[in-house]
Amino acid sequence: MDKHAARLLVNAATAGRRMRRRRMHGWLRDLARENALTVHDLIWPIFLTAGVGKTEQIPSMPGVSRVSPDLAVDVAKRAADLGIRAVAVFPNTPSELRDPMGSEALNPNNLVCQAVRAIKAKDIDIGLITDVALDPYTSHGHDGVFSSNDRDIDNDASVAKLVLQAKVLAEAGADMVAPSDMMDGRIGAIRQYLDEHGHTDLPIMSYAAKYASAFYGPFRDAVGASATLIGDKRTYQMDPGNGQEAEMEVGLDIDEGADIVMVKPGMPYLDVLHRVKTTFGVPTTVYQVSGEFAMIEAAAGNGWIDRDRAIMESLLAFKRAGADGILTYFAPEIAAKLNG
Ligand code: PBG
């Protein structure tokens, strides 16, 4: 068949509506694009270590390091200068300070509180998001505390700690608390406890649909919780097979007072993200977790994928699926790119 005959066939098949017409030029693709990533979408997770003037590389997260609280001020400044609107702070608590009850989480002078106070003292225009969960503080690596029979994580005993931790963080000057523990009822309990103590304007970002995922491995290295974790987190984090249940989790957290809800991990759960945003329409964030970061870095390091394009594509996918904000370890690099 010649080209002319084929043209008639294709015109008939498409009724003249050729989809490729608007993909033919860069300017037209730019005009027609439905979703875009901006620097305001980015939340940068950063890691802390004890000491002064200290920086440590994290082997399973190439290019990511832990910094001591004094240097966290420089990191926050760098983020603000790049136009990033928020950082999320995670501590690698010295092992001698970890115990079964996660007591160090309630120390008003723990690593996170030190960093928050140091950053706040410099009046840097950036939101400080602090995690509410016990895993960087417990000797067993769980987000809560064990029940007296030592068999499982005790929901209500854990919530009793988490409300206190949220208050300690609020008092240190955190701008938002982010419960990442997945205990039942903790959003409502934290909201009420914060309100009773005068923190009515402190927002809560709930890790609302958080899955028991294999993709958290490098993060657990970063906060020193991999070596210590006893068992797994399947009795409180969600089963990867469930999508409907995510709507229930998110709905409960919104009813209990969550201001922003999160889906985590990101790329394996784009359907959940889309579902959550479409169903509830509230500000929704997604966490491109450490394992997703590590996969891109490892494949790119082997020359198997184009690193820069893969990063951009992964982040744009979150926007397309409905994310308002994205926690990503690529934040500073991408911010610089978006600014440039
Ligand atoms: C735990 C917490 C985890 C992450 C953030 N908060 C790990 C876990 O649930 O074991 C993972 C983030 C990442 O992998 O980048 N409270």
What letter does residue 46 receive in the DSSP assignment?
Answer: E
Give residue 204's pLDDT band: very low, low, confident or very high (50, 70, 90): very high
Q: Give, for ligand 1, the residue of 48, 92, 131, 135 to mutate: max count of ligand atoms closer than 8 Å to Cβ.
A: 135
- In the prediction, which pLDDT does 80 show? 98
Q: E strands of 49-108, at which residues?
A: 55-57, 65-67, 86-91
CA atoms within 13 A on the CB side of 16: 0
Of ligand 1's listed atoms, the one at least distance from the Cα of 291 is 14
126: phi then psi, degrees, rounded to nearest 5: -155, 145
The strand pair at 65-67 and 55-57 is best described as antiparallel
- In the prediction, which pLDDT does 165 show? 98
- State whether the beta carbon of 220 lies less than 6 angstroms from ligand 1: yes
Select the more confidently predicted residue: 150 or 59.
59
**Amino acid letter for position 12:** A
Query: What six digits make up the tokens of 132?
Result: 């509410």
Question: 287: CA distance to ligand 1 center in Å?
Answer: 9
Of ligand 1's listed atoms, the one at least distance from the Cα of 225 is 10
Give residue 28's pLDDT band: very low, low, confident or very high (50, 70, 90): very high
- In the prediction, which pLDDT does 226 show? 77
Which positions ≥6 away from 267 have C-beta within 8 Å?
Answer: 288, 292, 314, 317
- What mean pLDDT is predicted for residues 77-102? 97
- State whether the beta carbon of 331 lies less than 6 angstroms from ligand 1: no
**Tens digit of each residue's pLDDT (9 = 90 or more) over 228-237:** 788 899 999 9
C-alpha radius of gyration, the chain, whole number? 22
- What mean pLDDT is predicted for residues 88-105? 97
- In the prediction, which pLDDT does 55 show? 98
What letter does residue 138 receive in the DSSP assignment?
Answer: B
- State whether the beta carbon of 328 lies less than 6 angstroms from ligand 1: no
| CA-closest residue to ligand 1 atom 8 | 216
Give residue 198's pLDDT band: very low, low, confident or very high (50, 70, 90): very high
Percent of the chain predicted with pLDDT > 90? 94
Query: What six digits make up the tokens of 220?
Result: 């657990």
Which positions ≥6 away from 209 have C-beta within 8 Å?
Answer: 238, 246, 249, 250, 261, 262, 263, 264, 269, 272, 276
- What mean pLDDT is predicted for residues 15-20? 95
CA atoms within 13 A on the CB side of 122: 21
- In the prediction, which pLDDT does 31 show? 97
Q: E strands of the chain, at which residues?
A: 42-48, 55-57, 65-67, 86-91, 127-132, 176-179, 205-210, 260-264, 284-287, 325-327
**Tens digit of each residue's pLDDT (9 = 90 or more) over 276-302:** 999 999 999 999 999 999 999 999 999
- State whether the beta carbon of 135 lies less than 6 angstroms from ligand 1: yes
Question: 289: CA distance to ligand 1 center in Å?
Answer: 8
- State whether the beta carbon of 236 lies less than 6 angstroms from ligand 1: no
Give residue 224's pLDDT band: very low, low, confident or very high (50, 70, 90): confident
pLDDT at 227 over 90: no
Single pTM value for the model? 0.96
- In the prediction, which pLDDT does 150 show? 74
- What mean pLDDT is predicted for residues 46-54? 98
Give residue 225's pLDDT band: very low, low, confident or very high (50, 70, 90): confident
Give residue 89's pLDDT band: very low, low, confident or very high (50, 70, 90): very high
